[in-house]
Amino acid sequence: MSAPATKLGFDGRIAIVTGAGGGLGRQHALLLASRGAKVVVNDLGGGMHGDGGGGHRAADVVVDEIRAAGGVAVANYDSVENGEAIVKTALDAFGTVDIVINNAGILRDVSFAKMNTADWDLVHKVHLSGAMRVTHAAWPVMREKGYGRIIMTSSAAGIYGNFGQTNYGAAKMGLVGFAACLAEEGKSKGIHVNTIAPIAASRMTETIMPPEVLARLKPEAVSPLVAWLCHESCTETKGVFEVGAGYISKIRWERALGARFGESSGFSPEAVASRWNEITDFSQGEYPSSMHESFNAILQGGK
């Protein structure tokens, strides 16, 4: 085991954590505040299915916890669809924003055959559009100051797929693409954007996992990664990380070397079928990390 690193502090940093009234968001907020960050604790106070809302208790309790421990925090009760109001809370209270952790989320799990458009739209509004709106409101502030740390919260349901979660999985994978593009745009401005795919005990997992599994999935085992990715000394950007139960791992895209047929015309579906084993053979994979690398390999590589 490596020697302990110098304690990472967040003195002077202003953080927004959405969906921070419980679960992962609460733990992120508590950890950052304990390290010196001033935190906007955002929570709409609604149910995990996107119903209800307007309750202040969830956010207020976390703010009280932070203040009782000697930290600084303010509450915000807006929906993430009103991202400008959330960021305004940070600007009014603290004058700027350095960190945005997009954590708010809901579930409307149902098989695709039984899903209605409301199930689809509401999940996307909260997860994908909500993250966009909060981030979009903070983006000009970060660009002007030449500094920012942004976290998206994805899910294994998006990366790998899961029965009954087409709405959730599509939104969560959308966040991976959103973060990747933002990371490219933020590189020259000192803005780092990373994505976590956590597994932790929360309102959203307690209905689908047995108690003995939930007992191992403490939110406290996710927040240290988030704090590191949000720290000024962390140079990571455009990363995607699976995290939970004391496990952290970076994931990446892998592509088979594939098969080259020549120009875009002149080969048949039968030719594709005849070389399918080559097309799907990962024994000699490659790992493009940008559109340039991807296109370059396609145009020049292959067999």
pLDDT score of 110: 96
Kindly report the pTM of this predicted structure: 0.91
pLDDT score of 157: 93
H helix intervals, 104-232: 117-124, 130-145, 156-159, 166-186, 211-214, 223-230
In order of their start, the domains of the chain are 14-251 (3.40.50.720), 253-303 (1.10.287.4290)
H helix intervals, the chain: 23-34, 57-68, 83-94, 117-124, 130-145, 156-159, 166-186, 211-214, 223-230, 269-274, 276-279, 291-300
pLDDT score of 164: 95
pLDDT score of 267: 86
Residues 6+ apart with CB under 8 A from 208: 109
Output the tens digit of pLDDT for each of the chain's 303 residues: 454 578 999 999 999 999 999 999 999 999 999 999 999 999 998 655 555 556 799 999 999 999 999 999 999 999 999 999 999 999 999 999 999 999 999 999 999 999 999 999 999 999 999 999 999 999 999 999 999 999 999 999 999 999 999 999 999 999 999 999 999 999 999 999 999 999 865 455 555 555 655 666 788 999 999 999 999 999 999 999 999 988 999 999 999 999 988 766 678 999 999 999 999 999 999 999 998 888 887 777 544
Q: How far is residue 105 from each of residues 20, 171, 244, measured CA to CA in Å?
A: 10, 10, 18
Q: Is 269 exposed, middle or buried (0-12, 13-18, 19+ CB in 10 A)?
A: exposed
Q: Is 302 exposed, middle or buried (0-12, 13-18, 19+ CB in 10 A)?
A: middle
**Active-site residue, selected from the candidate residues 77, 168, 247, 287:** 168
pLDDT score of 302: 45
Query: Known catalytic residue: 160?
Result: no
User: CA-CA distance, 104 to 237, in Å (whole number)?
Assistant: 21
User: CA-CA distance, 286 to 278, in Å (whole number)?
Assistant: 14
Q: How far is residue 121 from each of residues 62, 109, 171, measured CA to CA in Å?
A: 29, 13, 10
User: CA-CA distance, 112 to 118, in Å (whole number)?
Assistant: 12
pLDDT score of 165: 95
